[in-house]
């Protein structure tokens, strides 16, 4: 979700995108015109747009410090700027070749982030238009104002952020609008998946009754000692009528229960050492038992209360099951739609040779697109995209 936090102004989109393994073959008519870095359908992403957001990303990283915008292929301006930074002077000897290598590495990383952002922004805008989804200027402005209140203490801090980030308010509004469109897309795509019938709920309950059962639980008083002799002494004191608080304070080595006067509440079977567990659930209520030898020492205990096992009814479980099924179906619907969405738009996204990324139909063939997409996570976990470069979201000062 696009949001601002007190730490940073994060204008991100949270539509989960599934990676596509194979590079698609470019179709006809996808040639990128001069002065552009990519073409998505009939829309071009210009070099000027790329340069602007690259500069924004660099300024965001600089946090108001010296800006070193990579300038391929010579990187002469970037190298010169880096020579003036305090970190460069502190490192002592860094020659031009090393600084140029650093500039090139930074450029390649930022280029990928910026290209992904610009391409995915087009995907969202074009899909929203195709589905008749719109957001008003008033809605976008209100969303920005709400997020500003969360992220910045006052207008002065917000204006300082704009200055250091290199973004104009129009840039931020653009990113807010993208998020609003994405949210509406998600709502439309998953609308039908919200429907869960009573029959669905009944079937799930019948199949998963154990999930809605509560086991028997027992409230205990315990004393734990290092030796049997100490445990015998503690038990005798209790049998003689001394209070649990007094005996626990004198004998127990278990600091957690000792602080509660020996109380160990709501214990379910299987939660304690096996020897203690067996003894506790075989003991009657109100009788001082032990000593019981365990791996932690010797226990003397009393069962103070027994709460019998219970089964939550269908009516009691209904809302929980409904929400669970709805969430599962919405996620499944969204995942399936996103896979198709990505394939469709990747197939009509063509990039200039020096600007090819995973989102392009002519992506570099030597690299398979199996990793995280623009801020997502690998290994099949939920991923996040489209997403603006994180380097454009510096921490505002308060």
- String of DSSP letters for 334-354: HHHHHHHHHHHHHHTEEE-GG
pTM above 0.85, yes or no: no
Q: Quote the pLDDT of residue 86.
A: 63
Residues 194 and 275 sit within 8 Å (Cβ to Cβ): no
Q: What is the mean pLDDT of each run of 10 residues along the chain (398 residues)?
A: 31 33 35 93 95 87 72 89 67 80 92 95 96 95 94 92 86 94 94 92 95 94 96 96 95 93 94 95 96 96 95 94 95 94 95 94 67 33 34 34
Cα angle vertex 310, ends 309, 316, to 5°?
160
pLDDT value for 116: 96
Nearest to 3 by CA among 176, 125, 155: 176
CA torsion through residues 85, 86, 91, 93, sign: positive
Pick the CATH number of 216-308 from 3.90.1300.10, 3.10.50.40, 1.10.10.10, 3.40.50.300: 3.10.50.40
- What residue segments make up the domains of the chain, in order of their start? 3-194+323-392, 216-308
Q: Which long-range contacts (CB under 8 A, 24 or more apart) does 335-341 make?
A: 335/16, 335/18, 337/189, 338/15, 338/16, 338/17, 338/18, 339/18, 339/20, 341/17, 341/123, 341/127
> Measured between alpha carbons, how far is residue 148 from residues 5, 6, 204, 216 in Å?
9, 9, 43, 50
pLDDT at residue 397, as a whole number: 37
- The pLDDT assigned to 65 comes to 64
Residue with tokens 């994405």: 182
């Amino acid at each position: 979700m696009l949001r601002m936090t007190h730490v940073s102004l994060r204008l991100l989109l949270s539509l989960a995108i599934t990676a596509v393994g194979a590079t698609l073959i470019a179709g006809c008519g996808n040639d990128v015109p001069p002065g552009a870095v990519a073409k998505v359908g009939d829309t071009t992403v210009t070099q000027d747009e790329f340069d602007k957001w690259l500069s924004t990303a660099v300024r965001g990283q600089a946090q108001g410090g010296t800006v070193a915008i990579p300038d391929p292929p010579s990187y002469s301006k970037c190298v010169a700027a880096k020579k003036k930074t305090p970190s460069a002077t502190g490192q002592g000897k860094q020659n031009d070749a090393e600084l140029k290598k650093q500039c090139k590495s930074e450029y390649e990383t930022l280029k990928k982030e910026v290209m992904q952002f610009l391409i995915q922004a087009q995907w969202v805008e074009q899909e929203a238009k195709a589905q008749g989804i719109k957001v008003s200027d008033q809605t976008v402005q209100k969303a920005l104002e709400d997020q500003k209140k969360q992220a910045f203490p006052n207008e002065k801090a917000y204006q300082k952020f704009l200055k250091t980030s290199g973004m104009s308010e129009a840039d931020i509004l653009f990113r807010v609008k993208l998020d609003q469109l994405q949210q509406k897309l998600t709502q439309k795509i998953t609308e039908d998946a919200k429907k869960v019938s009573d029959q669905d709920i009944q079937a799930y309950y019948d199949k998963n009754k154990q999930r809605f059962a509560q086991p028997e639980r027992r409230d205990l008083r315990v004393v734990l000692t290092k030796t049997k002799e100490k445990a015998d002494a503690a038990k005798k004191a209790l049998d003689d009528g001394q209070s649990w608080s007094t005996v626990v304070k004198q004998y127990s080595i278990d600091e957690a229960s000792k602080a509660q006067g020996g109380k160990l509440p709501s214990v379910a079977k299987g939660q304690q050492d096996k020897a203690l567990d067996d003894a506790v659930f075989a003991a009657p209520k109100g009788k001082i038992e032990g000593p019981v030898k365990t791996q932690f020492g010797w226990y003397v205990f009393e069962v103070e209360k027994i709460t019998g096992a219970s089964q939550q009814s269908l009516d009691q479980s209904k809302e929980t099951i409904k929400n669970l099924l709805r969430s599962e179906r919405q996620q499944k619907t969204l995942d399936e739609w996103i896979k198709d969405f990505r394939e469709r738009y990747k197939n009509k996204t063509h990039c200039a040779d020096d600007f090819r990324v995973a989102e392009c139909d002519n992506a570099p063939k030597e690299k398979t697109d199996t990793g995280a997409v623009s801020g997502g996570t690998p290994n099949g976990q939920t991923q996040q995209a489209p997403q603006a470069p994180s380097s454009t979201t510096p921490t505002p000062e308060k």
